[in-house]
Every structure is written in structure tokens, then in C-alpha cells.
């Protein structure tokens, strides 16, 4: 007999709460909570698989509940159900790992479909984790070979992330970023990296890249390619025997030559996922220079794909904030001054100005 999933319905309105309970009760074990505090008590006492969460509630609102849930359990699926969702609230919710959104008033078919999809996604995530952990226990195998096996086995999961980006590229919801972040953290664990530097760096690069989207009026396909490439652009470093950290830029000659291989290694690792040529080109060329002195192909100017030029600027900015030898006490003016130095050849000077304009209004680190 298949064990029923445990679903918690959190809504301070009796009508929607009871409607959801009636829809879900035949197929699942259903718990209900009339406020955020009661919901958190139930989560601590019961093995909840999925939560349907109303955003607008008295006391603890939905976002506050979501934050507390993630402190307690990062694996519980969450579906946001709301009648007033805005770009700000949806973006914030996505940062804490939301499976999906349903708008009020909802219907039976929508609820059933979204719940089934969210539970399936949760199971798949557990299967991927188990599979990668098994690879991680292999002995007498190099980190490079482990990385290859991880990405071979994870190819269907990566394809699904790509599909999610495609389906949400025209919406206000970030495209699967939490799933990418969690996957990179898991891969870091399996490959025994000492920190989550790769995942955290990728998360920041993803955010910086999105600052270009409105200003450049990019198409959905262009956004999708850049979002995916932003998360996976440094994946080749995970397949190297030497671990490179974003804050460590002092290499000897041999290390530097190996470091230069990481874009090509990344494309090789991701080959089983069948990503589009546009995505793999961004990953391969994100270290090209605007003056043609970059690698691996010494491309110049607009020979470099737009997404790769954007990624180059995002990486340069991240280096100013986090990498040696730049001091942590840099002011906004210091960062802009240093970044302007790249315009002489490192990056596309016109895109750099677009980035500066976006930073002034979007990036809290420059306020």
C-alpha cells in the first residue's frame, strides 16, 4: 500500500481552508492551521511533505511563516495560494524555495495538478540526492570522474530545470533559481568541497545578470539562456582536482593553465543534459575579453555572445565585492571607479554603463 503524503493547509480564512481540505482529503493526509503560529507547531510535530500557504494572514504573514519553515526544514514543499500576489512578494517567496503559486479563487483541477506536480518534484529531488550520495561514497575514483558521473546521472534533473526556466521566462517568478542553488550545494557536498563558494557565487552572478534584462529588453529565450548559464558557468571547477575559490586569485603558472580549462570542462560535464548551444556558448566564453585577449577562443567585441559579455561584467563586479585583493570597505564610488578600469579592454563598455545604471536603483550593496 502506497503511503499517503502529509499536506498542511495554512489559511486564516475558513472558506478557502475548508475548500482545500475537501479537495485534498480523499488522496492525502490533511492537516489545517488557521494562523502561522499553529502551522509552525504542526510542522514541528508531524512529518509534513507539502504546505499550501496563504500570504496575507494576521499575525505571522505568509512570508514570515515561509522563513520559519525553511529554518526548520529546507525540504518541505510549499505552494503559495494568494489573491493579491505582487512581483515583490512572489520574488521574495521564490528566494525561500516555493514549489508553485495558485491564485484565488482556485478550482479543483488547478489545485490537484499543482499538488501532484509539487509532490513529484519533491520525490525527484530526494531521488537525486540519494543517487548523488551513492556516487559520493565511491572509492578509488578521482574528483574529475566523480563529477562526470554526477552530471551524467543528473542530466534529467538539469533538463527539468531548463524546462522550468522556459516555462517561467515570461512571468514575474525567478526561473527555478532555488532548485539550481540547492543542486549546486548538493554537488559541492558530494565532491567534498570545503565550502558552498561555488553555489553562493553562482547565486550572486544570477542576480547581477537579471539586472540587465529590463534595460536591454531581452527576449524570453535570451533571459532563459543567461539564467541557466549564470548558475552553471563555473561548474567545471567542481570537476578539477585542485579546488579554486572565488576569493583566491593568486595562481602559479601551472594552476593558472588548469584554471583556464574550467569553462571547457563545464561544457563537457553538462553535455549529457543536452543544453542549447546558446547556453553552452555563454558558459564556454564567459572569460573572453572585449579586446580579444581572453580565453578559450580569443573572441573580440561583439564576436562574443551577449550573454557571455553580461556574465563577464557580473563576475568582474562580484570580484570587486568578494575577491582578493579588493578591500571589503570599498565605497560605491571606489567600486564604480575600479569597474570603469575594465572598459579599456576587459568588458563591453556600453554594457558596463547599463550595469552601473541598474546598480544605482537595484543593488542594496551600492546604496
- For 336-366, what is each residue's pLDDT tens digit? 888 887 667 899 999 999 998 888 776 554 4
Mean per-residue pLDDT over the chain, rounded: 79
Instruction: Look up the domain containing 269 and give its range.
Output: 138-367
Specify the higher pLDDT residue, 130 or 117.
117
Predicted confidence band of residue 128 (pLDDT cuts 50, 70, 90) = low
Cα–Cα dist 262/229, whole Å? 14
Using the predicted structure, report yes or no on whether residue 303 has a pLDDT greater than 90.
Answer: yes
Q: What is the mean pLDDT of residues 317-344?
A: 71
Residue 131 lies in a domain: no
Residue 85 burial (10 A CB sphere; 0-12, 13-18, 19+): buried
Same domain flag for 84 and 175: no
Question: What per-residue confidence (pLDDT) applies to 106?
Answer: 84
Percent of the chain with pLDDT over 90: 32
14-23, 120-129, 236-245: lowest mean pLDDT where?
Answer: 120-129
Predicted confidence band of residue 190 (pLDDT cuts 50, 70, 90) = low
Q: What is the mean pLDDT of residues 43-49?
A: 92
Q: What is the pTM of this model?
A: 0.62
Question: What per-residue confidence (pLDDT) applies to 300?
Answer: 96
Same domain flag for 79 and 145: no
Of 122, 154, 182, which residue constitutes the final position of a domain? 122
Same domain flag for 26 and 153: no
Specify the higher pLDDT residue, 252 or 92.
252
Of 166, 180, 209, nearest to 307 by C-alpha is: 209
Specify the higher pLDDT residue, 86 or 57.
57
8 Å CB contact between 37 and 59:
yes
Residue 130 lies in a domain: no
Q: Beta strand pairing status for 77-82 and 29-33? A: unpaired
Same domain flag for 113 and 143: no
Predicted confidence band of residue 267 (pLDDT cuts 50, 70, 90) = very high
Instruction: Among 154-163, 269-278, 293-302, name the most confident range.
Output: 293-302
Of 242, 236, 267, 243, nearest to 147 by C-alpha is: 236
Residue 133 lies in a domain: no
Using the predicted structure, report yes or no on whether residue 173 has a pLDDT greater than 50.
Answer: no
Residue 128 lies in a domain: no
Residue 132 lies in a domain: no
Predicted confidence band of residue 334 (pLDDT cuts 50, 70, 90) = confident
Cα–Cα dist 84/104, whole Å? 8
8 Å CB contact between 198 and 238:
yes
Question: What per-residue confidence (pLDDT) applies to 55?
Answer: 85
Instruction: Among 14-18, 81-85, 155-159, 198-202, name the most confident range.
Output: 14-18
Residue in the structure block whose three cell numbers are 537525486: 128
Question: What per-residue confidence (pLDDT) applies to 277?
Answer: 93
Same domain flag for 60 and 145: no
Specify the higher pLDDT residue, 172 or 59.
59
Of 122, 155, 177, which residue constitutes the final position of a domain? 122
Predicted confidence band of residue 168 (pLDDT cuts 50, 70, 90) = very low
Q: What is the mean pLDDT of residues 50-65?
A: 88
Question: What per-residue confidence (pLDDT) applies to 315?
Answer: 92
Using the predicted structure, report yes or no on whether residue 229 has a pLDDT greater than 80.
Answer: yes
Same domain flag for 142 and 237: yes
Question: What per-residue confidence (pLDDT) applies to 200?
Answer: 73
Same domain flag for 118 and 198: no
Predicted confidence band of residue 176 (pLDDT cuts 50, 70, 90) = very low
Same domain flag for 107 and 145: no
Please give the tally of structural domains in the chain: 2
Cα–Cα dist 190/179, whole Å? 17
Q: Which residues contact 100 (CB under 8 A, 6 or more apart)?
A: 79, 80, 114, 117, 118
Same domain flag for 285 and 255: yes
13-17, 149-153, 162-166, 317-321: lowest mean pLDDT where?
Answer: 162-166
Specify the higher pLDDT residue, 334 or 18.
18
Using the predicted structure, report yes or no on whether residue 132 has a pLDDT greater than 50.
Answer: yes
Same domain flag for 184 and 308: yes
- CATH label of the domain that carries residue 35: 3.40.50.2300
Record the cell numbers describing residue 158, joined without a space.
538539469
Amino acid at each position: 500500500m502506497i503511503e499517503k503524503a502529509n499536506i498542511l493547509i495554512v489559511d486564516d480564512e475558513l472558506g478557502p481552508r475548508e475548500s482545500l481540505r475537501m479537495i485534498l482529503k480523499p488522496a492525502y493526509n490533511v492537516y489545517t492551521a488557521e494562523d502561522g503560529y499553529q502551522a509552525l507547531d504542526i510542522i514541528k510535530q508531524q512529518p509534513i511533505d507539502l504546505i499550501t500557504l496563504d500570504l496575507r494572514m494576521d499575525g505571522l504573514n505568509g512570508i514570515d511563516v515561509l522563513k520559519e519553515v525553511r529554518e526548520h526544514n529546507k525540504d518541505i514543499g510549499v505552494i503559495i495560494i494568494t489573491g493579491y500576489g505582487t512581483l515583490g512578494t512572489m520574488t521574495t517567496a521564490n528566494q525561500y524555495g516555493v514549489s508553485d503559486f495558485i491564485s484565488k479563487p482556485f478550482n479543483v483541477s488547478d489545485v490537484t495538478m499543482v499538488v501532484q506536480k509539487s509532490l513529484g518534484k519533491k520525490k525527484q529531488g530526494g531521488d537525486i540526492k540519494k543517487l548523488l550520495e551513492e556516487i559520493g561514497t565511491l572509492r578509488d575514483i578521482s574528483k574529475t570522474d566523480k563529477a562526470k558521473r554526477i552530471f551524467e546521472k543528473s542530466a534529467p534533473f538539469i533538463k527539468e530545470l531548463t524546462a522550468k526556466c522556459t516555462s517561467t521566462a515570461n512571468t514575474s517568478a525567478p526561473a527555478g533559481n532555488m532548485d539550481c542553488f540547492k543542486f549546486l550545494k548538493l554537488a559541492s557536498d558530494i565532491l567534498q568541497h570545503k565550502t558552498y563558494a561555488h553555489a553562493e557565487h553562482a547565486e550572486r552572478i544570477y542576480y547581477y545578470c537579471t539586472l540587465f534584462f529590463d534595460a536591454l529588453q531581452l527576449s524570453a529565450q535570451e533571459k532563459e539562456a543567461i539564467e541557466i548559464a549564470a548558475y552553471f558557468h563555473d561548474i567545471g571547477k567542481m570537476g578539477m582536482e585542485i579546488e579554486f575559490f572565488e576569493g583566491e586569485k593568486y595562481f602559479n603558472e601551472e594552476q593558472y593553465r588548469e584554471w583556464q580549462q574550467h569553462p571547457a570542462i563545464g561544457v563537457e560535464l553538462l553535455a549529457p543534459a543536452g543544453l542549447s548551444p546558446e547556453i553552452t556558448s555563454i558558459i564556454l566564453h564567459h572569460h573572453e575579453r572585449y579586446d580579444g585577449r581572453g580565453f578559450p577562443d580569443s573572441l573580440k567585441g561583439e564576436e562574443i555572445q551577449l550573454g557571455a559579455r553580461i556574465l563577464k561584467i557580473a563576475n568582474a563586479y562580484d570580484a570587486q565585492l568578494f575577491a582578493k585583493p579588493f578591500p571589503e570597505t570599498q565605497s560605491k564610488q571606489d567600486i564604480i571607479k575600479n569597474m570603469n578600469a575594465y572598459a579599456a579592454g576587459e568588458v563591453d563598455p556600453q554594457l558596463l554603463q547599463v550595469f552601473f545604471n541598474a546598480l544605482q536603483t537595484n543593488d542594496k550593496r551600492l546604496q
